[in-house]
Amino acid sequence: MRTLTLLAGALLTAACSSDPAPAPADAATDAPVEAAADVATDVARAATTLQVSTARGPVIGHITDGVTSFLGVPYAAPPLGNLRWRAPTEHAMWTTPIDAAAKGATCVQTRGTLSGTGPQSEDCLFLNVWTAKTLAADAARRPVMVFIHGGGFSAGTTSGADYDGASLAAKGVVVVTFNYRLGQLGFLGHPALTAEDTDHHTSGNYGFQDQQAALRWVRDNAAAFGGDPANVTLFGESAGSMSVCAHMVAPASAGLFHKAIGESGVCGFLITPLHDIAALPQVGSAEALGRRFETAVGCTGMSDLAACMRARTAEQVIAAAPTPVELSRYGVRYQPNIDGYVFTEAPWVSLLAGRFQHVPFILGSNRDEGTAFTISLSIPDAAAYEALVRATLPDRVADVLRLYPASMYPSPKAAYEAFLRDAVFICPNRTLARVTAPGAPTYLYYFTRANDRAGVALGLGVFHSAELPYVFGNFSGLFVRAAADEPVIAATQGYWTRFAATGDPNGAGAPLWPAYTATNDTHLEIGDMVRTGTGLKRDVCDTMASWLAPLQ
């Protein structure tokens, strides 16, 4: 079976301060007034800011509507110069408080809808924390929710407004988001880089190791922000969800989180090896891709390949071998690789063998996942549909056309979108739920709320990432917030935060969400109605199981 490719076109995707003016030197009689003004200013500042000491140095947060935000806090040393393409290291200590009023730079990537419009830099290993207004009076530590953004491991950022954590934090949790290295800067494997790592003989997993560094930061600092380092929920969407799944099997991630939420992405598609494998010539290795990159940046034949590649600017690195945000049977091209250290084996092998963290787990997908990946495709008729299926999954053309006949859908394009939705999202999620459920409570969801503008007016339905505004409570860009959205926001945030607190999303009078088992095959639909269902796409998923098993 050759490549199952998703032709992806991504859809979603400083504080000013001034000192009081000094009084004139000859205005001695104004001194008491000046002192009073200074005291008033200090009191006002204390009412709107909060200083916290992290393990590396103090940071000043800013209070708005009862939530304190700490933005742009460094969690690792800037990966610049000789630190490019190396595992993250600890940031230097600081003593002067950092005014954490603005988010840090987005990690360097090709400009697009997922990257936002803010500044980009290799110096991008920053995180953001949202917590309650006061900390000292809190008798109990709050659950911590750590989010990993999506973008196919090549794009994305939490530096925009979409992932602002204030709304979630107001529900009684501490929210952490962070940026991690992407694309060639985060996931470039190369023999010269592997040779440099004399301890572990690995390369190309730097972005994933950034994620682990952020989780270690949370472990070491959550308590200072009112959070419980022993109650951390890791959640993410798309490539972030794939990452959550991958952390469940990565040895160095063990113990860094205690619950997991995966939104529209499983780690079974992460099967790229670091080294070439003669027995699997169709699976391109990370190092093989790195050798092509070496040529693209003009370093072939240089005596010190690593130094030559590090001498290129970040812009040259990204431009040398740009790849789209895509999912495929053999993986997103720049993505975590199986190196024998960060990942000792392919994640799906670990999962099937039971070698993973058995933590409470929420996972699921959206009703129209495929539409975001076909937005730029033209599939005018049945012949074009069949040709695309043949290019996507050439050894299963008859099976796909039988399960998704164009005549049964509004258009051939809709048939292809349904196939992508089920083959890449719904069925792999159902299979993963069956693997994890015996070892820990597992909850499967199906998100069906179509936003009035982004989903209905634009005709995209409940597309890939459409649940995120309802998770974070932030509506911007394509999304409009209507009265009908409010109960969906309340339901989604309620289930997510109750799960973060206890490992069980149920409570507060919400509709019951039964834990998944292979026997009950149950899920919760979250949409205009919140209700339990069974057998989500059972017939097609059971049929697909045999031909998707190698890549789940």
β-pairing verdict for 67-74 and 98-99: unpaired
pLDDT in tens, 488-510: 999 999 999 999 999 999 999 99
Q: Which of 31, 67, 63 is nearest to 47 (CA)?
A: 63
**Residue 123 structure tokens:** 């110096």
pLDDT per residue over 134-183, tens digit each? 665 555 899 999 999 999 999 999 998 999 999 999 999 999 999 999 99
Structural contact between residues 400 and 419, judged by C-beta atoms closer than 8 angstroms: yes
- Give the integer Cα–Cα distance in Å for 285 and 334: 10
Q: How far apart are the first and last CA of the chain?
A: 14
Fold of 363-552: Rossmann fold (3.40.50)
Write out the E strands in 12-124: 49-53, 58-64, 67-74, 98-99, 106-107, 120-121
Beta carbons of 412 and 384 less than 8 angstroms apart: yes
Find out whether 332 and 238 touch, Cβ atoms under 8 Å.
no
CA atoms within 13 A of residue 368's CA, in its CB half-sphere: 22
Q: What is the 3-state secondary structure (H, E, C) of 183-242?
A: HHHHHCCCHHHHHHCCCCCCCCCHHHHHHHHHHHHHHHHHHHHCEEEEEEEEEEECHHHH
Q: Which residue of the set 237, 263, 294, 369 is catalytic?
A: 369
Residue 397 vs residues 86, 159, 347: alpha-carbon distances, Å: 43, 42, 28
Which alpha helices (DSSP H) does 285-334 contain, by range? 286-296, 305-310, 314-320
State the angle between helix axes of 239-247 and 206-221 in degrees (0 to 180), rounded to the nearest 10. 70
pLDDT at res. 109: 93
Residue boundaries of the structural domains of the chain = 363-552
Single-letter amino acid, residue 164: D
pLDDT confidence of 217, banded at 50, 70, 90?
A: very high
pLDDT at 110: 87
Length of the chain: 552
* Residue 478: pLDDT band with limits 50, 70, 90: confident
Mean pLDDT of the chain: 88
Measured CA to CA, the distance from residue 154 to residue 328 in angstroms comes to: 14
CA distance 63 to 290: 45
Mean pLDDT in residue range 400-425: 96
Asked whether the predicted pLDDT for residue 327 surpasses 90, the reply is no
258 is annotated as an active-site residue: no
**In percent, how much of the chain has pLDDT > 90?**
79
Q: Kindly tell me if the per-residue pLDDT of 446 is higher than 90.
A: yes
241 is catalytic: no
Look at residues 152, 164, 202, 157 and name the one whose alpha carbon lies nearest to residue 180: 157
Span 252-290, pLDDT tens digits: 999 999 999 999 999 998 989 999 886 666 568 999 999
| 24: confidence class by pLDDT, cuts 50, 70, 90 | very low
Helix (H, G, I), strand (E, B) or coil at 58: strand
Instruction: For 2, list phi and psi in degrees, rounded to 5.
Output: -90, -165
Measure Cα distances from 217 to 78, 209, 416, 498 in Å.
Answer: 15, 12, 43, 24
pLDDT recorded at residue 320? 86
Between helix 412-420 and helix 382-392 the angle, nearest 10°, is 20
Whole-number pLDDT of residue 139? 57
Q: How many CB atoms lie within 10 A of CB 105?
A: 18
Q: How confident is the model at residue 321 (pLDDT cuts 50, 70, 90)?
A: low
* Nearest alpha carbon to residue 5 among 391, 482, 273, 471: 391
Is the model's pLDDT at 27 over the cut of 70?
no
Q: For 102-111, what is each residue's pLDDT tens digit?
A: 999 999 998 8
Q: In the chain, pLDDT over 70 holds for what percent of residues?
A: 86
Q: What pLDDT score was predicted for residue 280? A: 64
* DSSP per-residue string spanning 486-499: HHHHHHHHHHHHHH
464 is catalytic: yes
Active-site residue, from 115, 154, 203, 238: 238
In this prediction the pTM is 0.90
Instruction: Please report, for residues 146, 269, 376, the alpha-carbon distance to residue 347 in angstroms, rounded to integers and kept in the order given.
Output: 21, 9, 31
Is 66's pLDDT higher than 80?
Answer: yes
For the beta carbon of residue 278, count every other beta carbon within 10 angstroms: 5
Query: Residue 433: pLDDT above 50?
Result: yes
Could you tell me which of 112, 145, 383, 435 has the C-alpha nearest to residue 266?
435
91, 149, 247, 464: the catalytic one is 464
CB contact burial 165-184 (16+ within 10 A = b; e otherwise) = bbbbbbbebbbbbbbbbbbb
If you average pLDDT over residues 469-473, what whole number do you get?
Answer: 98
Mean pLDDT across the stretch 215-221?
Answer: 98
Beta-carbon contacts of residue 266 (< 8 Å; ≥ 6 apart): 241, 242, 245, 363, 428, 429, 431, 432, 552
Distance in angstroms (rounded) separating the CA atoms of residues 4 and 302: 36
